[in-house]
Structure 1
Amino acid sequence: MKPCHATGLLLLLTANLASAEGACPPGQYQTTPPGVAGPVGCAPIPEREKTRQQWTNQWGALANDGQKTWGISESMPSKKMAISEAMDDCLTRGGKSCKLKLVYSNQCAAIVGTQKNSVVSRAATKDKAINFAADDCRRKAGNNVCWTYYSGCSLPIKTGE
C-alpha cells in the first residue's frame, strides 16, 4: 500500500472519532479536564438567571371637607397610607370634618371645579382624568367656569432589574 493511501485510510477511520465536540450529551458540559485519565464527568450547562421585572403598585387619595379644602396624597405604597395622608393633608390645610372622596391605584386623578362645586375623576393618564372631570363639571356648572384645581398620578414603579 502506498503511503498516501495509508494516510487517507487512517483519516477515514478516525473521522468519526473527531466529529463529536465532547463526551457529554447536548445541554451539558465536560467537568473532567482534558487529558485526565478516568471517567468523563458531565454537568448541565447553567442557564443564565433572568431577572424578572416586577411592578409595585402606587396609591393616591383625595379628601375634602365639603367646602374648599382638599387633602391630596399620591405615589404611596399602600391604600391605607394614601388615605391617611390625604385625610391628614386636608386637616392640616384647615379642613373640618374631612371625608374621603377618591382612592386610586396605578392611575391619575384630577379635581376640577367652580367656586361652589368640585368634581373628581380618575383615568389612565392625567389628561384623560382632567377631561373626564372637566366634562362632568361643565354639565353640572351651567354658565360657571370650571378650572383644574389638581391633577396628579400614582403610577406603578418598576422593581427588580
Structure 2
Amino acid sequence: MESGYQGEEMSVMRNSGWLLSVALLLGVLAFHNAYAEQGCPDGFTPNAAGTPGMQCIPIGGQTRPGSPSTASEQWSARWGAIAADNASGKTGLMGNMTSRRKAESGALAICKRKGGSNCELKLTYYNQCGVMAWGDGKMSTASAPTIEEASDLALTECRRLAKDCDVYFSDCSYAKRVR
C-alpha cells in the first residue's frame, strides 16, 4: 500500500508543477507591456524602412501617454529688419523683435541715429535669417531659413551689381517657444 500512496503523491506533484508553470506563464504575459506590430508600444510605429537599427517613433497626430501634448506648445514669431540710406551708406539693423513694427521702427531709428537722412527699409523678415551684403558701394539683402542660404542669395545678388562683395550683416530671428 505504501508504494501506491507514493505513486498518487508523485502524480499530484507533477500535475501541481505543471499547473504552477502555466499560472506563472499567464501571469508574466498579463503584466508584460503590450507591443504593437513589429515590437513598438501602442501609439508608436517603426522608423522608416532602410534606416539602421530599430527605433519606434510616435504615430503622427498622437502623443505618448503621460507626455504633454504638443498642441499646447505656443511659439512667438521673431522679426528682423534692415534699413539703409543709399546716399550716405548708413545702416540700421534690428533683429529678434516680437513684432514687425518694432523691428522696422528700430532699424529706421538706428539708421537715422547714425546720420542717415533718407533711411529706407530694405528688408523685413520673420522666423528666419536676414543678410546684408555690400560691395563697391552697392548693397543687397536676402532672407532664408538658414544663414547659409540667406548669405548665398545676398552675395549672388551683390556680385551681379558689384565686385568685392562681402556679408556686412547677418541675423537669425527664429520663433521662440513661450509655452
Class of the TM-score when normalised by the shorter of the 2 chains: 0.5 to 0.7
**Alignment partner, residue 146 of structure 1:** 165
In structure 1, runs of 5+ residues without a counterpart are: 1-46
* Greater RCO, CA 8 A, separation 6+: 1
The alignment partner of 2:117 has SS state of coil
Query: CA RMSD of the aligned region, Å?
Result: 1.6
Scaled by the length of structure 2, the TM-score of the pair is: 0.59
For the residues of structure 2 that align with 1:145 and 1:115, how far apart are their CA atoms?
A: 7
Moved more, 51-60 or 71-80: 51-60
State the partner residue of 2:121: 100
Aligned residues: 112
Q: Which runs of 4+ in 1 moved over 3 A?
A: 47-51
CA distance in 2, matches of 1:80, 1:57: 12
Distance 2:149 2:67 in 1: 40
Q: 1:88 aligns with which of 109, 129, 151?
A: 109
Counterpart Cα distance in 1 of 2:130 and 2:68: 35
**Is residue 113 of structure 1 aligned with residue 134 of structure 2?**
yes
Q: Which amino acid aligns with 2:159?
A: R
- Which residue of structure 2 aligns with residue 125 of structure 1? 146
1:145–1:49 Cα change, 3 Å: closer
Displacement, 1:50?
3.6
Q: Which has the higher helix share?
A: 2
Q: Which residue of 2 aligns with 1:27?
A: none
One-letter amino acid of the structure 1 residue matched with residue 107 of structure 2? A
Partner SS for 1:103: strand
In structure 2, stretches of 5+ residues that fail to align are: 1-64
Identity of aligned residues (%): 33
The answer to whether the aligner puts 1:63 opposite 2:63 as a matched pair is no
In structure 1, the partner of 2:158 is 137
For 2:174, the equivalent position in structure 1 comes to: 155
Structure 2 CA distance for aligned equivalents of residues 145 and 82 of structure 1: 29
Deviation at 1:135, TM superposition (A): 0.9
Quote the offset at 1:115 in angstroms.
2.5
* CA distance in 2 between partners of 1:49 and 1:151 (Å): 37
